[in-house]
Amino acid sequence: MNYIKFNLLNQFFPNLSTIDRYLILEITPVFLFSLGIISSLGVAIGTLSDLGNRVLEHGLPLQSAGIIFFLKLPEYTSYGLPISILLAILISYSRLSKDGEIIALRSAGISIYRIILPGIVLSLIVTGISFLFNELILPAANHQATTILVEAIPEEKPFFVKKDVIYREFEEVISPNGKLIPKIKTLFFAREFHNNQMEDLTILTWSQGKLHRIIISSAASWNNLSNAWDFFDGTIYNIAPNTSLKNTLTFQNKQLKFSRAPLDLVQKNYDPDSMNISQIRNYLEIIKHSGDDKSILKFQVRLQQKMAFPFICLIFGIVGSALGIRPQYISRSSNFAITVGIVFSYYLIGFLIGSLGLIGIISPFLAGWLPNFLGLGISFLILYCTIK
């Protein structure tokens, strides 16, 4: 069987050296097997109990539960990719080391760097696969799973704002001491968004920090041609600088210039786990003037974490290679224990650093990338100690 695989690799990748083909044949089957096992166990342990509870207590239909179960597979496959490449490289190189093949290769003049190169290249390939998977497949699957759950169980919190739509917009005003300070400019409230219309609206606007207009309207819709809102059946109350009522204007149909952001807010998914990098960036553009610093910081951190996450595969590949080529005997159970320890330590550090980013102690960039920088430094240190 290995001979057939070897010939297939030789046919499709004729430029690969013998050692590259040999090591790829060692690592790839273990990686695929590990990925299948980890993904299956993850979705079974992490999802079955929760879905069973929703079926029994909330009346989730079995058909919907089954669809959600399969839609959750991409999430655990995403988690399984870095773990699987770590386990596969660690097992493969440990087997070569135990059987004396590493020593034989080094005796033939092949350096340690050349021996671990195929493992690192495979880690880079898995890094690319992880990035594409997390961008193209995972967000759509999570979005669909949440949609089914919200539609089947009305008590579930929806990830779209459809009722009690609130949007705040701020502007920077010069304070008496000459500093720019944020002050509210617009407060937009709609009781419900239905049939592409905002219904039962109340809008308050300020100028230089003072309330100057109140708009009450039964409905409003966005006009793409005019790039403005069409308001229906309402009243405008203009407020004088001394806070007294200046005048009122009743209308049946009036077009007013306000930000499109409230419409984007109700039409876009605001769950970061169901959004890709581009969608998070677009959402940040929507809420950047909202004054909701907590949400802005949360999405900035999640943006950096989403960009940094695939590179865990490369870091784990280097760690697995460095530990695997060490000359001492390591059993498969020991390999599994080492993998669990590395993964647990990495995710614990990532969680703690991410939490520091969410409360503003460190920047969103560091919250997302610092675990990778630390992991990369430790992996090179292990590799250096191994070679030395």
What are the pLDDT digits (tens) for 156-176? 555 555 777 888 888 777 777
Banded model confidence at residue 388, pLDDT cuts 50, 70, 90: low
Which range (2-11, 206-215, 357-366) has the least confidence? Answer: 2-11
In this predicted structure, what is the pLDDT of residue 356? 94
- Residue position matching structure tokens 């230089």: 208
Residue 329 predicted with pLDDT over 80: no
Question: What secondary structure, in 3-state letters, does 106-135 show?
Answer: HHCCCCHHHHHHHHHHHHHHHHHHHHHHHH
CA 307 to mean position of chain CA atoms:
8
Please compute the mean of the pLDDT values over residues 37-49 and round it to a whole number. 86
pLDDT higher for 329 or 147?
A: 147
- The two tokens of residue 336 are 């599994």
268: helix, strand or coil: coil
pLDDT of residue 235: 93
pLDDT at 11: 52
Pairwise pLDDT comparison (330 vs 206), residue with the higher score? 206
Beta bridge partners of 171: 183
Question: In the chain, pLDDT over 90 holds for what percent of residues?
Answer: 31
In Å, what is the CA distance from 105 to each residue of 19, 99, 100?
A: 9, 12, 9
Window from 3-17, 112-126, 301-315 with minimum mean pLDDT: 3-17
Q: In whole angstroms, give the CA distance from residue 215 to residue 189.
A: 10
**Cβ count within 10 A of residue 158:** 16
> Quick check: 2 pLDDT over 60?
no
Q: 95 with 23: CB under 8 angstroms?
A: no
The tokens of 284 are what? 């940040």
**What residue ranges in 20-162 does DSSP mark as E strands?**
none
| Mean pLDDT, rounded, for 329-339 | 68
For the chain, the average pLDDT equals: 83
Strands, sheet with 180-194, edge to edge from the N-terminal-most edge strand: 163-174, 180-194, 197-207, 210-223, 228-239, 245-256
For a pLDDT cut of 70, what percent of the chain falls above it? 88
Topology of domain 163-265 in CATH is: lipopolysaccharide transport protein A fold (2.60.450)
Q: Where are the domains of the chain?
A: 2-151+305-387, 163-265
pLDDT higher at 67 or 387: 67
Q: Is residue 257 over pLDDT 80? A: yes
β-sheet bridge partners, residue 220: 198, 231
CB atoms within 10 A of CB 229: 24
What pLDDT was estimated at residue 352?
94
What pLDDT does residue 5 have?
47
pLDDT in the model for residue 43:
86
Which are the contacts of 304, defined by CB distance < 8 A and separation ≥ 6?
A: 357, 364, 365, 367, 368, 369
Contact of 275 with 282, CB cutoff 8 Å: no
Residue with the larger pLDDT of the pair 216 and 184: 216
Confidence tier at 230 by pLDDT (50, 70, 90)? very high
Give mean pLDDT, residues 273-293: 80
Q: Residue 26 pLDDT > 90, yes or no? A: no
Query: In this predicted structure, what is the pLDDT of residue 161?
Result: 59
* 3-state class (DSSP) for residue 243: coil
Over 90: is that where the pLDDT of 14 sits?
A: no
Report which of 377, 353, 349 is spatially closest to residue 366, judged by C-alpha positions. 353
Residues 357-368 have pLDDT tens digits of 999 999 999 999
pLDDT of 72 above 70:
yes
Average pLDDT over residues 60-72: 88
Is 51:65 a contact under the CB 8 Å cutoff? yes
**What pLDDT, on the 0 to 100 scale, is given for residue 83?**
92
CB-CB contact of 189 with 165 (8 Å): yes
pLDDT of residue 185 exceeding 90, the answer is no
pLDDT digits (tens, 9 = 90+) for 297-325: 999 999 999 999 999 999 999 988 888 88
**What integer pLDDT is reported at residue 45 of this predicted model?**
85
85 or 21: which leads in pLDDT:
85
Q: What is the mean pLDDT of residues 134-163?
A: 76
